Chain A
């Protein structure tokens, strides 16, 4: 049995993906019960039973997907202490760091917590792992993200442009002001080219954890002039219910046959859809005991079945595009 906390854009996509896998029973919880009820009514079918439950009832399931706004620290600790495995979609650096510190609690309770199982982080790490297989060694990873999922994701994107970005650069963590370091990045069509800037994103942290051999890791987000100017003030206009077409671009550099090689793979899809599918596939893997390692883990780590997860994600309709030079 799988539980979903948060039934907004990402939570509903998690539920839809699990329904497409004919997962027999799903528990839903949202702080706005009517939203969870509406989702359950829409998706209840012959193969899948969706039930709206209280927060305490979530402790009776095997694995819970946290698709609610961050921080996920308190609820994750509560669930892990009850022996429930957790799949977190948090994209906040501080929250991800705190979640990583729960590894001992997870091990003591024979549970697993997968951190950053969304689009970026999450899908980005799985792509790096796939690309790494075609290299002899990899030493650089550069991630760029365009678009947002639901309103909470849009607020996080807004905050990400005003904080401090982190990046791994030649054996040390570099902190730079978010919103700096403009770089023009090409995403798969129909997204196209966008200026990307450093952002307060957890990707470098989780990718470096999964690939300790890397020498440089950076993460950028697309932003307009307006985004950058107003990033340091509170969001005055409420974000849209869901962002438009999003994009993810992962550039991996390394060596193959003694030659320098650069490979770029991208995704053009709504960010909420990618995050929902990644979280659902990961939760199902934990539920079906395909993922058996206990403790705190990030996608892309060698102890996880990354190739199988990526195959299931692409089978669920998330297409990968490779940049081909003319």
Chain B
């Protein structure tokens, strides 16, 4: 019983840490220093 409780505790701590890392991370930022220009197929 004690073992199961420890496993559950470890799993919940691991998922909490993973959740924080997953959602606190920054998303991809928009390009601010340039962009793409089509060089072929321009009409």
Contact = CB atoms under 8 A, between A and B. Distances in A.
Q: Do A and B bind each other?
A: yes
Interface of A: 184, 186, 188-189, 192-193, 265-266, 314, 317-326
A314 B34 contact: no
Contacts of B28: 184, 192-193
B34 A322 contact: no
B42 to A, nearest CB: 9
A324 B41 contact: no
A323 B34 contact: yes
B6 interface: no
Contacts of A319: 38-41
B3 interface: no
Contacts of A314: 40-41
Interface residues of B, number: 12
B9 to A, nearest CB: 25
A314 B42 CA distance: 11
Contacts of A265: 39
Contacts of B33: 325-326
A322 B34 CA distance: 10
Contact of B40 (A186, A320, A325, A326): A320
Interface of A is mostly: strand
A266 B36 CA distance: 8
B41 A189 contact: no
A324 B40 contact: no
Contacts of B39: 265, 319-322
Interface in B12-35: 28, 31-35
A192 B34 CA distance: 13
A184 B27 CA distance: 12
B5 interface: no
Nearest to B28: A193
A188 B36 contact: yes
A319 B43 CA distance: 12
B37 interface: yes
A325 B32 CA distance: 9
A321 B32 contact: no
Contacts of B36: 188-189, 266, 321-324
A152 B28 CA distance: 30
Contacts of B38: 319-321
A260 to B, nearest CB: 17
A133 to B, nearest CB: 13
B35 A326 contact: yes
Contacts of A320: 38-40
A326 B31 CA distance: 10
A155 to B, nearest CB: 28
A246 B37 CA distance: 17
